[in-house]
Amino acid sequence: MNQTLNRTMVLPQLRHLFPVPRARSFATVVISTLALIVACLLFAPSSVTWGALSGSLPFAAIIAIVGLGQLLVVQQGGFDLSLAGGVSLAVVISTHYPQGDNALLLPAVLIAVACAIMAGLANGFLVSLCRLNPIVATIGVNALLYGAVFAVSGGVPKTTTTLLTAIAGGQTFRLPNTIYFALATLAVVSFVLKKSVAGRRFEAIGANPLATRAVGLHVELHQLLAYVYAQILYCMAGVLIAGITREPTAFQGDSLLLPSVAVVVLGGTSLLGGRGFPVATVIAAFFLNQLSQFALAVGVPYSAQTIIQALALGFGIGVYSVRWTGLAIKQTRPT
């Protein structure tokens, strides 16, 4: 009896002292990532060398940033398919508008952010106010965004400015700059979501819109803003990709849609909305990226590479679909 009392009293204190995400998702993704690193060390040591990591981490950072954007929408029970268009539009604006002139980079980025806010408002308006299905609404907005991509670029890639290459493709203290961008985004998203009043309301609305409406919270406004925040993060990812790849295609966002959803799911956030796990999402982004580097480093044929990734994803999602706690209770319950 005393032991139980102690545990119930001590644990919350400990949790307060160490506010790390304690969810099953966090443990799962960390254990999976550690297992992957061990597998890399055993079977493809080259994929965890410093040279390989410094080349691949920028892409993990990009997946992390778009994953955080998708996370915010998923938390509101939504789904954002306009990610591809949003990222691609930011890419073409930040490369086509400056035309190689560093002085025009800042205005270009500001234009890209303005476009992102408009796209987010359009998504949010359609989903939260007009009550359209998020998949339908965001597919429509994605088509509009791709229209804008063609209007800006004609589908043609442009070489990026030297300043953007230095910012996004450069390194500070031997770490790729994109890592800092991803970590800063993570810090802001985590802090606002978990420690601010607005963030707590945001999560509560995602978990139960009806109850929170009854309490008097602005449910529609929070749902609408989720799409705006997401688009701003996609825009940031797009600008960074433009710097990393130097001559990005006009469709650079296409390959990010699936990973963005995958990392949200691997991070343990329910697709039905509610509580979000930003730290686990970012770790999942590293996991997913490292997995593809592992497959490349092992040197298996391309078909096998895609199978390895699909299996790992299937495993990751499978872990959450099994109700471990339910099983454990069944086993321990006295009969």
Partner 1 sequence: MKHSVGLQTAFAAVAAIIAFGCSDLARAETPSWCGPKKATIALLDGYGGNSWRQVTTASGKQEALKCPSITKYEYADGQGDTQKSISDIKAMAAKGIDALVVFPDAGPAMLPAITSVYKSGKVIVPYRVEAGGKAGVNYTRFIGASFKNDGENWGKWIKSVLPQGGNLLFLSGPAGNSQGLDELAGLKSVLGPEYKFLNPEPFDVTNWDPALTQKVLTAEIAKNSKIDVIVSDFGPSLVGALPLFKNSGRSIPALATSDGNSLGCFWTDVQKDNPDFKLFTVATGNDNVRLAVQWAVASATGGKLPEEDVFKAPVFENSVSGKPHAVECRRDLSGAIYLSAELSPEDQEKAVNSK
Binding span for partner 1 by CB under 8 A among 149-157, 260-268, 309-317, 327-335:
149-157
70 vs 63: CA distance, rounded Å: 10
Closest by CA to 83, choosing from 60, 116, 56, 40, is 116
Q: β-pairing, 175-176 with 171-172?
A: antiparallel
101 is a site residue for partner 1 (CB under 8 A) = no
- In terms of Cα–Cα distance, which of 79, 96, 45, 19 is closest to 290? 45
Distances (CA, A) of 235 to 29, 83, 84, 89, 142: 27, 9, 10, 8, 13
- Stretch near partner 1 under the rule CB under 8 A, chosen from 78-86, 107-115, 293-301, 318-326: 293-301
Instruction: Looking at residues 104 to 123 of the shown chain, list those that interact with partner 1 (rule: CB under 8 A).
Output: none
Question: Structure tokens of 137?
Answer: 């609404």
Q: Which of 97, 229, 251, 287 binds partner 1 (CB under 8 A)?
A: 251
* Footprint (CB under 8 A) of partner 1, residues 162-201: 169, 171
The distance from CA 97 to its chain's CA centroid, rounded to whole angstroms, is 27
Q: Are 219 and 205 in contact (CB under 8 A)?
A: yes
Q: Per CB under 8 A, which of residues 294..333 are in contact with partner 1? A: 296-297, 299-303
Between 31 and 175, whose beta carbon lies closer to partner 1?
175
- Per the CB < 8 A criterion, the answer to whether 184 and 192 are in contact is no
DSSP codes, 64-88: HHHHHHHHHHHHTT---TTHHHHHH
User: Which CB sits closer to partner 1, 44 or 73?
Assistant: 44
Q: Indicate the residue among 52 and 119 with the shorter CB distance to partner 1.
A: 52
Size, binding site for partner 1 by CB under 8 A: 42
Contact region for partner 1 (CB under 8 A) — 73-81, 102-110, 137-145, 240-248? 240-248
Nearer to partner 1, 137 or 148 (CB): 148
Among 28, 94, 245, 281, indicate the residue that binds partner 1 (CB under 8 A): 245
User: Applying CB under 8 A, which part among 30-38, 148-156, 188-196, 222-230 lies near partner 1?
Assistant: 148-156
Q: Identify whether the C-beta of residue 119 lies closer than 8 Å to the C-beta of residue 145.
A: yes
Inter-residue contact 189 to 72 (CB < 8 Å): yes
Which residue stretch of 21-29, 197-205, 221-229, 289-297 sits at the interface with partner 1 (rule: CB under 8 A)?
289-297
Is residue 159 involved in binding partner 1 (CB under 8 A)?
A: yes
Q: Based on the shown chain and the rule CB under 8 A, indicate whether residue 51 belongs to the binding site for partner 1.
A: yes
N- to C-terminal Cα separation, the chain: 22
Binding site for partner 1 (CB under 8 A): 44, 46-47, 49, 51-52, 54-56, 59, 99, 150-151, 153-159, 169, 171, 241, 244-252, 255, 292-293, 296-297, 299-303
